[in-house]
Every structure is written in structure tokens, then in C-alpha cells.
Amino acid sequence: MIEQKQQLEDAVNEALAIAKQLGVDQAEVALGKTSGISVNTRLGEVENIEFNHDGAMGISVYVNHCKGSASTADLSADAIKSSVKAAVDIAKYTSNDPYAGLLETDSLEDDPLDLDLYHPSSHSTTELLDIAKQCEDIALSSDERIVNSDGAGFNSHSSLKVYGNSHGFLHSYASSHHSLSCMLIGQDKDDMQRDYSYSSARDINDMFTPQWVAEQAVKRTVERLGAAKIKTQESPVIFAPEVASGLFGHLVGAISGSSIYKKSTFLLDRLDTQVFPEWMQISEKPHLHKGIASSPYDQEGGKTFKRNIIEDGVLQTYLLTGYAARKLNMPSTGHAGGIHNWFVKNSGLDLAGLLKEMGTGLFVTELMGQGVNMVTGDYSRGASGFWIENGVIAYPVHEITIAGNLKEMFMGIEAVASDIDPRSSLKTGSILINKMKIAGE
């Protein structure tokens, strides 16, 4: 992968040179190459082995604030030239947009950090299959209630990203990502349930062991057996880390630049106002070594900064690309392409302490459906998990719906536990919300 670095940077330079020859005002080129392997086993047999080697060059040009884009997977000189010409031709037919263009030069990263994101696997196909088989074998032999498997899989991929533009920016960085997963089926009498577990990391040596993944998959699956429905009511709700990260993901969407300038968010005009309880802190750390969402610069070449997103419950920033920043007459924030390692400050309680804090209520471990209105904040999703009584798990529950409004849910967060899920780019523990509507029987 690293050996390709100069070749890919040369291709980007060539595309930019052709764009300059054609007289465009501004041009940018993004080129990515990904290669890797995915293996899957089921019941001790190999289900599939898939190798992939993908890549494409994306070219955007700006002529009098009219944008044209084209792409090519062929990096020959003729193909690059044809693609740049195609982008220029397309720009002739697009509408003038005064906000279109490259990120301003003072916002570009001029000295990208090496964040130690590239750790390719040296494992052979046979070794990866053995890891998947080992994980599944441990799971299937751990509990007699595990009666079947949807398989185990190992994915190992590496990528190289190059970005250049006509402001003179040209940088690249390599990264890797590895994951192991196992999905099981459990049965107790007539009740059957399915659940899974996984591990992922930049460096294969930082992953949880196959035994850990197997044991977690077994635990999650058998704990679901015997699930019951509950009565329709209003009660406190705890979101487990896996689903709590998705809840804060709605915050990401609500404060993204496109949502703000389109006026399509429940957090419109809420900058510098309180949207969480006063004790809430959410920080962003883009430059963590080996971080799942670390990045030396964003997809426009913009600088990425350590910053507070929420401080003392107050919204500190929107998430702005260069385009959104110009539309809103604000500085760009380095978020073209998404967020970079968010951390939600916990309240000092472990999960057991959080359950005791709630006393009686619902502990949600899985959410279904997409019932979230980002304009109004109305929230309604299918859920399953556990009913809690006197601070301990009483029994599993399923086939329920939880509902509320994100504005009230955010302000109603009473505590965040310390049981952070390290596999997520948005790191949070379980969260306790004071009340939500639960639709059951």
C-alpha cells in the first residue's frame, strides 16, 4: 500500500495540472485505494473468502462558481485527462453557486501529523479463517442453549487516501482496520433469540481475543431468552453504550452545517445555548494515535482540532465544511467527512451504580427502525433490553417502542456511566434519561 503512495500522488498532481491547463478557477482531486480480505465461517465450514482491491479518483472543478465533478477508476494518463475534461464540461451546465469552491488556504492543514493509523495484517488467509473458526467453536461449546450460528467473520483492510487541490495542498495517509464478529442463535423451549458481538481496531494486536468475542456473543444471546412484553407506561430509560452512541449521533446530524443552513434541525439557532444538563461535557480529539476516527485533516484538507462540542451543557460549535461555513458566514471546523473521536464525560458511576441510580425502569440494549424526525426532534423507535427493578435486572423485554423528543431527552440525561464501548468513534458509557414513553401491551 505504502509503495503506491508516490504513484497515486503523481496521478493527483497530473489531474490538477490538466485542470490548470484547461483554465479552471479551482480544482480538487481525491484518490483512494483500498485492499483487503473478508473471510466467513459457519458451523466449522468456510462460507466465503473475498479479496478486494478497489480505488477511484474523484475530480471536482469550479468555473465561475459552477461545479463539475467526474470520477475514474482508470489512472492512465488518457483516462485522467478525459475525466478532468468531463468535469469541466459538466461545470458548464451547472448553476452558479457563490458559496461553491475550495476551502480557504488559511484553513488548510500545512503540516499533517502521523497518527499511527496504518497497521496492516501479516496473517495468511488460513490464519484468519482459523481465528474465525476458533471464535465460533468457543461460542457453540459454551452453553447448551446456543443451538445454532449465523457464523463468524474476520475482515482486514488497508487504505491509502490522497487529496490535492489547486491551492497547493497535496498530502496522503494510510490506515488500516480489522474486525472479528460472531452471531449466534439461542433457544430455550419455544423461544429463540439471536445476538452477536464483535471487536475492531486499527491494529490487529489491539483487538479483543476470539474468546472474548465468543463469550460476549453467548452472554448477549442467552440473556435475551425468555423475553416478555411490558405494560405501556412512562419510566426512566437507560441506553447501553452501543445504542447511546447512536443517540449522540443524532446530535451530530442536528448540528451539521447542512442541517443548519437548510433550517432542517431541532437545534436551529441553539449555538451558545444550553442543550444538555450543566454537568454534560462532550469533547473531540482528532489526533489520537490509532484512533478509530482519527484524522490528520478532513476530506477538504482542513485542519482538525481538539475542541469541546458541549461544555457545561452548552453547545459550543456547529460542524461545518467549507461550503457550509461560507453559507453561514462562519469559520469552517474541519468536519468534512464526519466527526473525529468524540468522548462523553461520565458521572463516575459504573453500570451497576447507574442501574441502582435508576431503581426501576427500562435498560435498552437494542434499537430498531428509523423513527427520528430531525426537524422536530420527535423520537420513536422499536426497542428491546431488560426491565430493572430495585436496581437489578429482573427479566429481558422485547417488542416495545420507546418515544420522546430529543430536546427533552438531551436535557433529561441524569447520568452517564463509565462502561465506555472502546470500539466506537463516539465513546460514551450507558446513559440514564429521566423519563420516556414506553409502548408495550
Indicate the fold that domain 2-224 takes in CATH: PmbA/TldD fold (3.30.2290)
Q: What is the mean pLDDT of residues 345-366?
A: 96
pLDDT digits (tens, 9 = 90+) for 145-164: 999 999 999 999 999 999 99
Helix (H) or strand (E) holding 139: helix 125-140
Band (pLDDT 50/70/90 cuts) for residue 441 is confident
Locate the domains of the chain by residue range. 2-224, 227-441
Q: What is the mean pLDDT of residues 174-186?
A: 97
Helix (H) or strand (E) holding 15: helix 5-21
pLDDT digits (tens, 9 = 90+) for 79-127: 999 999 999 999 999 999 999 999 999 999 999 999 999 999 999 999 9
Q: DSSP label at 304?
A: -
Helical pair 77-91 and 5-21, crossing angle rounded to 10 deg:
40
pLDDT digits (tens, 9 = 90+) for 115-134: 999 999 999 999 999 999 99
Strands 392-405 and 426-427: unpaired
Decide which of 256 and 441 is more confident: 256
| Chain centroid, CA 257 distance in Å | 18
Q: What is the largest CA-CA distance in the chain?
A: 73
**Helices H, strands E: what count in the chain?**
9, 17
> 428-439: buried (b, 16+ CB within 10 Å) or exposed (e) per residue?
bbbbbbbebebb
Cell numbers for 65, please give them. Answer: 462558481
- Phi and psi of 411, rounded to 5°? -70, -20
434: nearest Cα among 362, 347, 339, 338: 362
> 291-324: buried (b, 16+ CB within 10 Å) or exposed (e) per residue?
bbbbbbbbbbbbbbeebebbbebbbbbbbbbbbb
**Of all residues in the chain, what percent carry a pLDDT higher than 90?**
97
pLDDT digits (tens, 9 = 90+) for 380-434: 999 999 999 999 999 999 999 999 999 999 999 999 999 999 999 999 999 999 9
Whether residue 2 is predicted with pLDDT greater than 80 in this model: the reply is: no
Q: DSSP label at 256?
A: B
Cell numbers for 18, please give them. Answer: 490538466
Cell numbers for 78, please give them. Answer: 488518457
Helix ranges (H only) for 197-350 are 210-224, 241-254, 257-261, 322-328
Triad 235, 237, 242: Cα angle to 5°: 165
Enter the pTM of the model. Answer: 0.93
Whether residue 3 is predicted with pLDDT greater than 80 in this model: the reply is: no
The C-alpha atoms of residue 187 and residue 148 are separated, in whole angstroms, by 9
* Model pLDDT, residue 370: 86
Q: What is the mean pLDDT of residues 206-228?
A: 96
State the residue for C-alpha cell 451530530.
252
Whether residue 372 is predicted with pLDDT greater than 80 in this model: the reply is: yes
Q: Please count the CA atoms within 13 angstroms of the CA of 18 that sit on its side-chain side.
A: 22
Mean pLDDT of the chain: 96
Whether residue 4 is predicted with pLDDT greater than 90 in this model: the reply is: no
* Model pLDDT, residue 1: 62
